[in-house]
Structure 1
Amino acid sequence: MRLSTVILPIHRWAEGQKIWRRAEDLGFHAAYTYDHLSWRSFRDGPWFGAMPTLTAAASVTQRMRLGTLVTSPNFRHPVTLAKELISLDDISGGRITLGIGAGGTGFDATALGQEPWTPRERADRFAEFVPLLDRLLTEGSVSYEGDHYSAHEARNIPGCVQRPRLPFAVAATGPRGLKLVARHGQAWVTTGDPTLYENGTPEQSVEALRGQAGKLADACAALGRDVSGIEKVLLTGFTPDRGRPLTSLDAFVDFAGRHQELGFTELVIHWPIPDSDFAADEKVFERIALEAPAQLR
């Protein structure tokens, strides 16, 4: 099982670069960042752009993979996003993974002055966004007219360093999203069942994740794809366990082992942020980074 981290873009780069370097020194498989304009309790504090942050992170790291967790159509367009991703993949030497999801109803949904999209409209846009982005990252010139997005002779030369394109880690739990994972994803991302976060139990969460994984397998089977070829990524911190797995190495290994048994191949833990939902003892966090992967092989 791989262990990765997510570093929220809340630090001025003089400080932030130290964190990204440290993440690589600790041996994390990947370091991701949120692709939002602002987010929940961090809305009134510093929050920097994901793509410039990842570009800077690429310049101070050498081995660790980098990516978004996740990008969404809320304020992105496939044509401009493709150009940024191709550039970022080149700058990083082919170390970029695009985490991508349908988006939600948070601040991103209204920051451009629009009304929040309904769940159906988000799903409709996502179903159009992902295939178009796939084409833009693999074809030299793309023209397309859809219900929500269009492209006219959009050029993306020379394409990605990673061939045929950089990998997609698609966040989804519903049938339409899981179909996109099965058709376009190199990885599947979930945070668990959000209805269990407040009052559910860790055991209920495991069963819910088992069910989600089963539905992914069904979606893959319907398209004739082997689900074992898709990486399965759990972004932690949103299950009923909350921050408990980061209280000790033993607690984390126990948590990770239960999810490894479900078929998850990568766990992503939040870099500690004091006085927040992601607060954790930094020494324990570093011990987990250094020692847990060996115990989970």
Structure 2
Amino acid sequence: MRLSTVILPIHRWSEGQKTWRQAEDLGFHAAYTYDHLSWRSFRDRPWFGALPTLTAAATVTERMRLGTLVTSPNFRHPVTLAKELISLDDISDGRVTLGIGAGGNGFDATVLGQEAWTPRERADRFAEFVPLLDRLLTEDAVTERGTFYSADEARNVGGCVQRPRLPFAVAATGPRGLRLAARHGQAWVTTGDPKLYETGTPEQSVEAVAGQLDKLGKACAEIGRDAAELDKILLTGFTPEQNTVLGSLDAFVDFAGRHQELGFTELVIHWPIPDSVFAADQAVFEKIATEAVAQLG
């Protein structure tokens, strides 16, 4: 079991860089950030761009992996995203993981002036976005005409430091997204079942996540892939235990152990932010960071 963190891009870099350095010092496997233009309760607070933040983080860290949780098609295009990712992979010396999902109905869905896409439209776009991005990150020149996304002699000569490209961690729970994870992913990401977030029980949540894992296994089997090849990542903070998981080391180890038994290989916890939905005791958080993995074995 690996333990990682999410650092929201809410601080000017003169302050924010200290958190990324500290995350590496605490021994986190990876530090991710949200790829949004704004997010929920932080909409009226400072919020900086994900890829510039990760680029800066790459220059003040040496070992820790870096990534998005998650990028989506809401305001991205595969051609420009690929160029930025290849640059980031180079600057970080091959430490980047791209968390990628279909997006949702939040601020990002309408900020460019468009109507929010329906779930089917999001799935349709995601089904084009991921394969094209895969090609752009592995081929020197790509031409493709799609319904939503196209490329005309898009050049990425040299490609990624990581070969054949940087890894994709695909966030998905529906059948089409799970098939994309099975075909293109090196990891799969879930936040649990959103229907259980406020009114469900921990037992119901574990059962729901086990069902998601089962569906992922079936999607892999359909294409002859062993689901064990994919890392399984749980982004915490969105399950019924969200108010207690970071309450103590014992509570976290109990939570993590249940999910480790299901087959998860990486848990991601949010760096504490006072006066927010991610408020937590910093001392307890650091104790979890430094001691939990050893207790899990």
TM range (shorter): over 0.9
Q: State the match for 2:51 in structure 1.
A: 51
Deviations 1:98-142 (A, max 9, x none): 000000000000000000001000000000000000000000000
Q: 1:243, 1:278 within 8 Å by CA — same for their partners in 2?
A: no
Q: State the match for 2:15 in structure 1.
A: 15
Q: Do structure 1's residue 66 and structure 2's residue 36 form an aligned pair? A: no
Q: 1:235, 1:267 within 8 Å by CA — same for their partners in 2?
A: yes
- In the alignment, structure 1 segments of 5+ residues that lack a partner are none
Counterpart residue type for residue 234 of structure 1:
L
Q: State the match for 1:238 in structure 2.
A: 238
d(CA) in 2 for partners of 1:96 and 1:296? 26
Counterpart residue type for residue 118 of structure 2:
T
Q: State the match for 2:170 in structure 1.
A: 170
Q: State the match for 2:199 in structure 1.
A: 199
Q: 1:138, 1:165 within 8 Å by CA — same for their partners in 2?
A: yes
Q: State the match for 1:128 in structure 2.
A: 128
Look up the SS of the partner of 1:38 in the other structure.
coil
Counterpart residue type for residue 184 of structure 1:
H
Identity of counterpart residues, as a percentage? 82
Q: Give the alignment's TM-score, normalised by structure 1.
A: 1.00
Q: State the match for 1:264 in structure 2.
A: 264
Q: Give the alignment's TM-score, normalised by structure 2.
A: 1.00
1:8 Cα deviation from its structure 2 partner: 0.3
d(CA) in 1 for partners of 2:106 and 2:154? 30
Q: Do structure 1's residue 216 and structure 2's residue 211 form an aligned pair? A: no
1:266 Cα deviation from its structure 2 partner: 0.1
Aligned-residue CA RMSD in angstroms?
Answer: 0.4
1:243 Cα deviation from its structure 2 partner: 2.7
Look up the SS of the partner of 1:246 in the other structure.
coil
Q: State the match for 1:88 in structure 2.
A: 88
Deviations 1:231-275 (A, max 9, x none): 000000000111311000000000000000010000000000001
1:157 Cα deviation from its structure 2 partner: 1.4
Deviations 1:62-112 (A, max 9, x none): 000000000000000000000000000000000000000000000000000
d(CA) in 2 for partners of 1:195 and 1:255? 19
d(CA) in 1 for partners of 2:223 and 2:61? 38
d(CA) in 2 for partners of 1:60 and 1:244? 32
Q: State the match for 1:229 in structure 2.
A: 229
Counterpart residue type for residue 276 of structure 1:
S
d(CA) in 2 for partners of 1:93 and 1:65? 10
Counterpart residue type for residue 30 of structure 1:
A
Aligned length: 297
Deviations 1:128-159 (A, max 9, x none): 00000000000000000011000000000110
Q: State the match for 1:279 in structure 2.
A: 279
Q: State the match for 1:117 in structure 2.
A: 117
